[in-house]
Structure 1
C-alpha cells in the first residue's frame, strides 16, 4: 500500500527515526487480541468489582466499535463526530439512537474532548473497551444491577490496567504469541535499510522491558541479516516511556541492565545501543545533537504518539493506521456505487435549481408561474431520492455495518480524520508500506481542492 502525505517531508533531512512498538513495529492479530481482552476483563470485573457473573456471558463483536469513536460517560452513549465536533451518529449502548433524540441531546453541542465526560477510542487497543462499555450499558438498561454509566467506563479502564499490570493479560499472550502477534520479516528489512542509509534508530515504547524484549526478540531477531539482535540495531531503546508525558514532562532516565533487568540512574549522555526506562524527549533530542525537524517519529496513537509530540518538540510525525487497509479496499469496491450516487445528485441539483427559479417567478413574476410545474419537479426529485436511497444502502454494505467509514462522518471528515490530517505529516496502514520508498524520498502532498475551486479548472 501507499504512504499518504499531509505535509511535505524530505527524508534526506531526517537523521533519526523513532518508533513505537505495539501496533507499529509489532503488529497484532487485532480481532483475536481484542476478543481475549474483552473476555478477560469481563471476568476481572466480576472478581475485582463484584459485577454479576452474568456479564461474562456477553459475546464479543469486533465490528461493534471502530477507531476514532467517543464515549459519553454520563449518558451511556457512543458517538461519531465530524471534524467540527458535531455528532453525526450516536448509539445508546449498542442501540442506534433515534435522530430526534440524538438532535435533542447533541444538536446544539460541540463535543469537547478536554471534558472528563468524554473518552476517546483512538487506538486498536480501544476496541474491546468500547465494546464492553456498549454491552454493559445494554445490560444495565435491561435491569441488571450495575453501576451508573460513568462508573462503568472508569471501572472498565481500571480493570484493563489491572489486567496489564498483574500479568494475566500479557502472561497469557506471551505463552501463545503465534495466536496474537504477526511475524513480518519485512519490518527487519526496513529497519536495516534505514541503518544502511545512516539513519539513527530509536525505540520509544510505553511497554515495560520484559514485554518489549519478548516481542522484539520474537518479531525482529529471526529476520536480521546485518545485526545480531534488535538492541544492536537500535541506537537507543526506551521502555516504559509513559507517553505522552515523555514529550512534555522532564523525567529522569534509568538505564536497564539487559541481562538482569536491574536498573540504575542514567548519568550523563545517553549511550549507543543501551536500553533505558522513562526519561524525557528533550534530553533525548539534546543528546542526539539534532533539531526537532531532523527527527521522525512513527506511532499508532494519535494523542500519545503524534499530537502531543507535534505541539512540543516539532518532530516530524507519521501515524500507523491498521484499519486503513480495509477502509481503502472498501472505498475501492464502493467507487462504482459512489459514481451512481454522484450522477443522481447532479440531476437532483439541476431540478432543485429549476424549482428555485419557479419559486422566484411565484414572487417576482406571478403571471408566468405555473403551480403544476412545481408538482412535476417534486415528483422527479422524489424518484431520484428513491434511487439515491437504494444506492446508499448498497454503499454502506462495503463499510462497518454499525458505523460506516472511519475517516468520514457523513459527507464530512470525521474528527479522527481531522486529527490525522492536522498532526501526522504522513500516514499508512503498516510500517512496511515504507519499503516502497527509499530513505531519501521527498514526500509531497497533493494539492487540496477547496470549496471555491472547480476541480475541472485545475
Structure 2
C-alpha cells in the first residue's frame, strides 16, 4: 500500500526512528482482540461495579463503532463529527437519531473535545469501549437498572483500565497469542533495512516491559536475519512511557534489567538500553539530535502524533490500519460516486436555471412563465430521486452504521482533519514503508483550493 504524504519528509535527514509497539510494530487481529476485551470488561463491570449479570449476555458486533467517533457522555450519544466540529451523524445507544432531532440537539454548535462531557475514540483499542457504551445505554433506556449515561462512560473506561493493569487481559492474550497477534515478517525486514542504513531505532511504548518483551519476541524473533534477538535491532527501548506525558512532562528515566525486570535510577545520558518512563526532551538532548532528525511512528493520533507535534518538532508518521478497508471501499464505490458527481452537476445547472426564471419574475415579468418553474422543479425532483438511490447504493460499500471513517458527509471527518494536521505521513501499516528506500524524499501533492478547481 502507498504511503500518504501531508508534509515534505526527507528520510535522508532522519537519524533516529522511534516506534510505538501496539498496533504499530505489533499488529493485532483487531476483531478477535476487541471481542475478548468486550466480554472481559463486561464481566469486570459486574464484579467491580455491581452491574447486572445480564450484561454479560450482550453480543459483540465489530461494525457498531468505527475509529474516530465521539461519546457525548451526558446525553448517551455516539457522534460522528466533521473537521469543523459539527455533528453529522448521531446515535443514541443503538438507535440512529433522526436528522430533525439531531439538529435540535446540536444545532450548529461546535463539539469541543476539551470538555469533560466528550470522550474521543481515536484508536483501535477504543472500539470495544464504544460498543459497550452504545449497548449499555440501550439497556438502560429499556429499563435495566444502570447508572446515568455519563457514569456509564466513566465506569467502562475504569473497567478497561483495570483489565489492562490487573493482568487478566494481557495474561490471557499472551497465553493465546496466536489468536490475537499477527506475525508480519515484512516489519522485521523493514527494521533491518533501516538498521543497515544507519538509522538509530527506538521503541517508545506505554506498555510494560514484560508485555513488550513477550510480543516483540513473538512477532520479531522468528524472522530475524541479522542478530539473534529483537533487542539487537533497537538501541533504546522505553516502556511505560506514559504518552502523551512523555512528550509534555519532565519525568525521570529508570533503567530496566531485561532479565529480572527490576528497575534502578538511570544516571547519565540516555543513549542505549531499556528504560521506563522518562521525557522526550532529555532523550533528544542525550542523542544529540535536532527534532527534525527524529521520526516517530505510532497509531494513536493524540498520544503519538498530536501531542508530540505540539511540544517538539519531531517528524511524525501515523499507522492507520482501518484505512485499508476504507481504501478498498473507495475503489469499489468509485463508479457510483462518479454517477453522483455527474447528477450533482446537472442539479446545479437546473438550480441556476430556476434562479434565472425567478429573476425574470421580478425584473422582466412579461417574459416570466410559471410553467417553466414547475418544469424545472419536476426535473430537480427527478434528479434528487436518482441521487438518493445512488447514495443508498454508495453507503453499502462502507460501515452500515457510520459510513466512512475519513469523511463526515461531504466534509472530512474530525479524525481525518487531525491526521492531515499532525501526521507528516500516514499509512495502513508500518511495512508499507518497505516500498520506499530509507533515503526517500516524501513530497505532498499540490493541494487544490476551491478557487483553483477547473
**TM-score, with length taken from structure 1:** 0.99
* Cα separation, 1, equivalents of 2:13 and 2:321: 27
The equivalent residue for 1:305 is 304
Secondary structure in 2 matching 1:71: strand
Moved more, 102-111 or 3-12: 102-111
Secondary structure in 1 matching 2:451: coil
* Cα separation, 2, equivalents of 1:233 and 1:83: 39
The equivalent residue for 1:408 is 407
Indicate whether 1:320 and 2:322 are aligned: no
The equivalent residue for 2:198 is 198
* Cα separation, 1, equivalents of 2:208 and 2:171: 13
* Cα separation, 2, equivalents of 1:236 and 1:396: 46
CA shift, 1:301, in A, is: 0.2
Indicate whether 1:224 and 2:219 are aligned: no
Indicate whether 1:453 and 2:452 are aligned: yes
The equivalent residue for 1:374 is 373
Indicate whether 1:172 and 2:172 are aligned: yes
Structure 2 residue ranges without an equivalent (≥5): none
CA shift, 1:108, in A, is: 2.8
CA shift, 1:421, in A, is: 0.2
The equivalent residue for 1:93 is 93
The equivalent residue for 1:286 is 285
* Cα separation, 1, equivalents of 2:271 and 2:17: 16
Secondary structure in 1 matching 2:113: coil
Secondary structure in 2 matching 1:390: helix
Q: How many residues align?
A: 454
* Cα separation, 2, equivalents of 1:288 and 1:221: 27
The equivalent residue for 2:343 is 344
Conserved? CA contact 2:255–2:275, under 8 Å: yes
Secondary structure in 1 matching 2:212: helix
Q: Detail structure 1 runs of 4+ shifted over 2 Å in the superposition.
A: none
CA shift, 1:109, in A, is: 1.1
* Cα separation, 1, equivalents of 2:413 and 2:223: 38
Secondary structure in 2 matching 1:128: helix
CA shift, 1:230, in A, is: 1.2
Structure 1 residue ranges without an equivalent (≥5): none
Indicate whether 1:45 and 2:45 are aligned: yes
* Cα separation, 1, equivalents of 2:93 and 2:451: 40
* Cα separation, 2, equivalents of 1:332 and 1:284: 43
CA shift, 1:231, in A, is: 1.0
* Cα separation, 2, equivalents of 1:451 and 1:80: 24
* Cα separation, 2, equivalents of 1:412 and 1:262: 51
Secondary structure in 2 matching 1:79: strand
Conserved? CA contact 2:271–2:287, under 8 Å: no
CA shift, 1:346, in A, is: 1.0
* Cα separation, 1, equivalents of 2:270 and 2:12: 24
The equivalent residue for 1:394 is 393
The equivalent residue for 1:188 is 188
Secondary structure in 1 matching 2:146: coil
* Cα separation, 1, equivalents of 2:89 and 2:64: 13
The equivalent residue for 1:118 is 118
Moved more, 227-236 or 146-155: 227-236
* Cα separation, 1, equivalents of 2:320 and 2:68: 11
CA shift, 1:227, in A, is: 1.4
Secondary structure in 1 matching 2:450: coil
**TM-score, with length taken from structure 2:** 0.99
CA shift, 1:286, in A, is: 0.6
* Cα separation, 2, equivalents of 1:394 and 1:68: 24
The equivalent residue for 2:241 is 241
CA shift, 1:314, in A, is: 1.0
* Cα separation, 2, equivalents of 1:195 and 1:75: 50
Spell out the pairing of 1:67-146 with structure 2 (5 A cutoff). Answer: 67-146=67-146
* Cα separation, 1, equivalents of 2:208 and 2:72: 31
Indicate whether 1:355 and 2:357 are aligned: no
User: RMSD across aligned C-alpha pairs, in angstroms?
Assistant: 0.6
CA shift, 1:228, in A, is: 1.4
* Cα separation, 2, equivalents of 1:185 and 1:126: 27
CA shift, 1:271, in A, is: 3.6
CA shift, 1:400, in A, is: 0.3
Q: Deviations over 1:164-196 (max 9, x none)?
A: 111110010000000000000111100000000
CA shift, 1:101, in A, is: 1.1
CA shift, 1:229, in A, is: 1.0
